Amino acid sequence: MKFIHTADWQIGMTFHGFKEKSRSAMEDDRIEVIEAIGDFANNVANGIDFVLVCGDIFETPRVSETLVKKTFKKIERIKKPVYVLAGNHEWNGSEFMFTTKYFLENKPANLHVLQAGINAVEGLTGVEIVAAPLEGKEDLIDLVKAQIDLLEPTNSIRIVAGHGSIDAIMPAGGRKDLIALAPIEKALTGKKIHYVAMGDRHSTTKVGDSGAVWYSGAPEPTAFTEDDQRNVLAVEVNPGSVAKVEKIQVGQWEFIRFGTKFEQHQLRSKQDLDDLEKQIDAIKKPPKTAVKIYLDSVLDFDSDVRRGTLFDEWEDDTLARFEVSKSSKGATIESDPLNEKAPSGLSGYALNAYEELKESAMAEDEDSEIALEALKLLTEFAGGNK
């Protein structure tokens, strides 16, 4: 038995900060990715029996009926049953996406909303989906554990469908709805369940060591913090064997991050800038790529001018979005030691070395750049010109 595990489509999500053209394309491609999922599922050679969407099919219950119809047309083209679980984005206060008038009136015949507990799988004997749907934006208990606790060992293949944060990869804090990994692993060992399909985390992630607990991640990226993007999982589960999980890339967009808030991307030399330019030039689909850089730049005047020109090109023309993080240290221009007096802290042999390096750095030969770098280091070591 083989199925597609996916989640977090979040159809209707808007992308502020993108150019208008890019934002529109991004929103459209969130629907188009369903077609890519369908193409894989419909290919007989891939052996897919059904598609399981573990929550957040839409961004909110308040998406337009037009958007719902577009989404359902794509789902209808999937020639397999499609099972969908309620996640937190299906709720907005008391509003519930799956009970809205336009959802019920337009729902295609192959789309099935999972109910809490055991759900049979259409056309497959001995295969069950144990669903733990959310009953609001958040819950006060571990819904996955609550369902597992009701189960006995079985000869059937059981797939658990959940949505939320597993404690093994999420700080505990004061949350009561964290999903505990230990009961899941015990149930796997005890043959109560055979695979746990999770939604909510937008990076494709294996949890624990069993190889049977996964977040599929979002098929199109949503944020720069996501590490493994654009995937669905093709999962094969057979009695008596460990689940086989294969990542299938279906998305077109990519969000790339250089550095983090705590380890910012440093530009200290012309070579650093060259390397960054090569990485941007290597992007396969620039119009479908967003880049964010946590910048810590200290360059000489000429290199900083070039940096500014490159940043403007990437933002205005090349990329769907280029952003320098607000938490960046920013860009500064380092002083040119060739135009400065010798640091006051130098004397004797050190001062003589400084003067010799400065003379070599000002010469137009192959050693001048090496001498200039050495001059900068000596100036920094001596405390600069204060």
For residue 171, pLDDT beyond 80: no
Mean predicted confidence (pLDDT) in 85-103: 93
Q: Are 257 and 292 in contact (CB under 8 A)?
A: yes
Both tokens of residue 366? 């192959």
pLDDT value of residue 386? 45
For residue 59, pLDDT beyond 50: yes
**Residue from 174, 118, 164 nearest 142 by CA:** 164
Burial class (CB in 10 A: 0-12, 13-18, 19+), 44: exposed
Tell me if residue 156 falls in helix, strand or coil: coil
pTM assigned to the model: 0.85
**Kind of pairing, strands 127-131 and 117-120?**
antiparallel
Both tokens of residue 111? 């789309």
Question: How does residue 6 score in pLDDT terms, banded at 50, 70 and 90?
Answer: very high
Question: How does residue 172 score in pLDDT terms, banded at 50, 70 and 90?
Answer: low
CA distances from 385 to 299, 332, 341, 376 (A): 17, 17, 7, 12
Mean predicted confidence (pLDDT) in 267-281: 96
Q: What is the pLDDT of residues 121-132, one digit of tens each?
A: 999 999 999 999
Can you tell me the distance from the alpha carbon of 52 to that of 55, in angstroms, rounded to the nearest whole number? 9
Can you tell me the distance from the alpha carbon of 340 to that of 319, in angstroms, rounded to the nearest whole number? 39
Return the CATH number of the domain spanning residue range 2-251: 3.60.21.10
The single-letter code of the amino acid at 292 is: K
For residue 151, pLDDT beyond 90: yes
pLDDT value of residue 383? 61
For residue 16, pLDDT beyond 50: yes
pLDDT value of residue 359? 81
Question: Of the given ranges (34-43, 210-219, 361-370), which has the lowest mean pLDDT?
Answer: 361-370
Can you tell me the distance from the alpha carbon of 22 to that of 306, in angstroms, rounded to the nearest whole number? 26
Residue spans per domain, the chain: 2-251, 255-333, 337-381
For residue 328, pLDDT beyond 50: yes
Helices assigned H by DSSP within 13-111: 20-42, 65-76, 101-106
The rounded percent of the chain whose pLDDT value lies above 90 is 73
Can you tell me the distance from the alpha carbon of 368 to that of 238, in angstroms, rounded to the nearest whole number? 67
Q: What 8-state DSSP symbol labels residue 248? A: E
Q: Tell which wins on pLDDT, 355 or 218.
A: 218
Both tokens of residue 48? 């897919």
Question: Of the given ranges (103-117, 177-191, 270-284, 364-378), which has the lowest mean pLDDT?
Answer: 364-378
For residue 385, pLDDT beyond 70: no
For residue 240, pLDDT beyond 90: no
For residue 365, pLDDT beyond 80: no
CA distances from 48 to 40, 80, 202 (A): 8, 8, 23
pLDDT value of residue 338? 66
Q: What is the pLDDT of residues 216-233, one digit of tens each?
A: 999 999 999 998 999 999
Can you tell me the distance from the alpha carbon of 266 to that of 253, in angstroms, rounded to the nearest whole number? 26
Can you tell me the distance from the alpha carbon of 360 to that of 338, in angstroms, rounded to the nearest whole number? 11
Question: How does residue 380 score in pLDDT terms, banded at 50, 70 and 90?
Answer: low
Burial 63-85 (b: 16+ CB within 10 A, else e): beeebbeebbebbbebebbbbbb
Q: What is the mean pLDDT of the chain?
A: 91
pLDDT value of residue 85? 98
